[in-house]
Amino acid sequence: MNKNTLRAFINNSSPLLGLTEKNGNIGEHRGTQSFRTKIFSSSVKLCVTLWLLILLVLLASCAEPSPLFGTWADNRGNTFSFFDDNTFSARVTRAGFSAVNYEGNYTVLLNALTLDCTNIELRIVTEWDIRGNILYLNWISSESEAMSLTLFKISN
């Protein structure tokens, strides 16, 4: 194959190969990337994006709900219900007094539980611990009386 035949072949196939003849140099690229490089880089980007999306979905599906979710009660009539929208309701009975109902929002930071009661302007910050199906909680009533509660999970 002589040089003129090679030039004719490249000029006829240049739309497919992305090659041109400039200043007598055969085989220079038209743009900064060849057609194959563009296809490869876009397919690699697509593949990486899909893998990242799959990984994100797997991580999101592995997240466990808070162990606080559900209803907790003891044999003295105290009940606490924690819901997945970060709200709670509680009925706490103090010795010698009638039961008081509390409702509001809660936040958890490690083992600290903050209860913002909306029906009684009260904020309670306490520590909590769950061992098995038992919730240990220090409750501070609206009269600033501290009570240690041991509650058993009765429903999810």
* One domain for residues 116 and 54: no
* One domain for residues 53 and 85: no
Rounded to whole angstroms, how far apart are CA atoms 111 and 131?
A: 13
Q: Each residue of 108-126: pLDDT tens digit?
A: 998 899 999 998 888 999 9
Q: What single DSSP character describes residue 30?
A: S
Q: Each residue of 70-89: pLDDT tens digit?
A: 999 999 999 999 998 999 99
CB 72 within 8 A of CB 79: yes
Q: 0.75 cut: is pTM over it?
A: no
Rounded to whole angstroms, how far apart are CA atoms 26 and 3?
A: 10
* One domain for residues 76 and 149: yes
* One domain for residues 52 and 95: no
Domain that holds residue 147: 70-155
Instruction: Determine the residue type at 43.
Output: S
* One domain for residues 75 and 57: no
Rounded to whole angstroms, how far apart are CA atoms 71 and 124?
A: 19
Rounded to whole angstroms, how far apart are CA atoms 42 and 38?
A: 6
* One domain for residues 78 and 109: yes
* One domain for residues 57 and 80: no
CATH code where residue 114 lies: 2.40.128.490
Judging by DSSP bridges, how do beta strands 146-155 and 70-73 pair with one another? antiparallel
Section 124-133 average pLDDT: 92
pLDDT at 47: 82
* One domain for residues 80 and 24: no
Rounded to whole angstroms, how far apart are CA atoms 106 and 101?
A: 15
* One domain for residues 46 and 77: no
Rounded to whole angstroms, how far apart are CA atoms 76 and 151?
A: 10
If one counts the domains in the chain, the total is: 2
